[in-house]
A and B are shown apart, each in its own frame.
Chain A
Amino acid sequence: MTESHDEITSLLGAYALDAVEVEEATQVELHVGQCPRCNAELLEYQTTAPMLGSLGGEAPDGLWEAVLASIDQPSSSGMQRSVLRATRPTSRRRLYAFGAAAVAVAAAVVLLAVSVAGLEGRVNHLQGESVAQALRRAESSALARPGHTVVYLRAATGATPAHVVVANNGSAYLVNDSLPKLSAGRTYQLWALSRGTPVSLGVLGREPTLTSFEVQRGMTMVMLTAEPSGGVPQPDSPVIASGALTNT
């Protein structure tokens, strides 16, 4: 039976408390996948309900040891969940084609060794951003997935106004951390250096938030430029910020 919108909405609170029947739970899940308003309302309840469970207390003795005994060890399972890899600056020769301005920026290009502690502020910042939910969720999912890398795009000043999360399947997300809004008639454009040749990855607009793209084999670097609206086939403006990709 298909429930009406109002009937489903009336179940949202009970659903957040796990207090609906299985069939009703299915109806709710199907509905909120298609109804942003109900999805938002449910999210509020789902962040409030666990507060009821904030009872505190100590974990019982021996529980941690039991957990430890149950989890797979990488060495025994043979599985690998690779890491935010520490990387090193790579060759910058290919950037010379971008001209003197680009070279000046390239000299500042460093692919940061990403430490857990160092990433914390970035991730926290991500959580505070107001961006398209779907992209944000995909980017968050990529961050939580094993095997991803994070590349900070560094400017000549040393600032890192954006970063890229590259999932292990090649899906990548450019996140604007502090890129200034461009003036009218200008747009950010994202580029990859692929086998020595700049390839456009997309025109991002004056004020990008979160952008997805695919990292192809052979791409060694991503770069941002500011171009005339509509973008250009080849970059002819100074590189604003760039970062080296690894393992492509």
Chain B
Amino acid sequence: MPADLRNASDTILVLAIGRWNQDALAEAFRRHAGSVFAVAKQVLRDEGAAREVAHDAFVWLWHEPDRFDPARGSLRAFLLNFAHSRAIDRLRSDRRRTKREEEEARAAAPMTYDLEREVWDLTLVTKVRSAVDELPDDERKAIECAYFGGYTYRETATLLGQPEGTVKSRIRSGLRRLQTNLTAAGLQGVEL
């Protein structure tokens, strides 16, 4: 691994990936693959399926590096958004196929999650956990249910027994509050 890639910004890595530089892709993988895999696994609760999502994320980055827009966030956020969306698509497809949506929803709805379980960057994880914990319960549950459970806000409303409009509002206000908490903790989304 060339030393300049070890120290390069994510944007430079993407530029180099645009030049078919495998070392750059390897460095992006080294930095972000753990989190990409973890979020897919958290949503899918299936290691094999999570591996496929993480695999697809980096193959996609290799083929379409120009999709990355540094003005819209970091490379990690870009990859995590991809992995999350792909995992959600897969989860919902599976749910439709098995026609066990309600049963599975009740069984799998994650009202809490164990961030420490797969800690890689303890500082980051601890700060994120703290920022999430500071959210009012209603906002936190709505966000966790939607993000990690893979439920739409309507499904989340059903699961939590709340009106859809209330859940939409709580997700929105929760994200705003989370952003404030993260900023106060010295973290910003673009610096993920």
Point out residues on A near B: beta carbons under 8 Å. 10-14, 16-21, 43-60, 63-64, 66-68, 70-74, 81-84, 115-117, 119-120, 123-124, 126-127, 133, 136-137, 140-141, 143-146
Contacts and interface: CB of A to CB of B under 8 A. Distances in A.
Interface in B107-159: 115, 117-122, 124-125, 128, 131-132, 143-144, 146-148, 150-154, 156
Q: Chain B interface secondary structure, helix, strand, loop or mixed?
A: helix
Contact of B29 (A13, A43, A59): A59
Interface in B1-51: 4-5, 7-9, 11-12, 14-16, 18-20, 22, 25-26, 29, 33-39, 42, 47, 51
Contact of B132 (A10, A43, A52, A137): A52
Contacts of A45: 172, 175, 179
A67 B29 contact: yes
A29 to B, nearest CB: 13
Contacts of B132: 52
Contact of A116 (B16, B47, B88): B16
Contact of A14 (B39, B58, B146): B146
A47 B73 contact: yes
B9 A124 contact: yes
A50 B70 contact: no
A247 to B, nearest CB: 16
Contacts of B150: 18
B8 to A, nearest CB: 6
Contacts of A140: 69-71
B76 A50 contact: yes
Contacts, number: 242
Given A47-B72, A51-B182, A123-B12, 17 more contacts: A13-B168, A13-B171, A18-B85, A18-B147, A47-B77, A47-B188, A48-B189, A49-B175, A54-B128, A55-B125, A58-B118, A59-B54, A63-B54, A64-B33, A84-B15, A116-B5, A140-B71
A200 to B, nearest CB: 29
A46 B83 contact: no
Contact of B38 (A20, A53, A81): A53
Interface residues of B, number: 91
Contact of B58 (A17, A52, A67, A141): A67
B120 A57 contact: yes
Given A14-B152, A18-B88, A51-B189, A63 B71 contact: no
Interface of A is mostly: helix
A117 B128 contact: no
14 contacts: A12-B172, A14-B171, A46-B189, A51-B192, A54-B124, A58-B118, A64-B33, A74-B20, A83-B19, A116-B8, A120-B11, A123-B12, A127-B70, A144-B18
Contacts of A68: 22
Nearest to A143: B15
A177 to B, nearest CB: 16
Nearest to A145: B66
A82 B15 CA distance: 10
B189 to A, nearest CB: 3
Contact of A123 (B7, B11, B36): B11
A21 B168 CA distance: 13
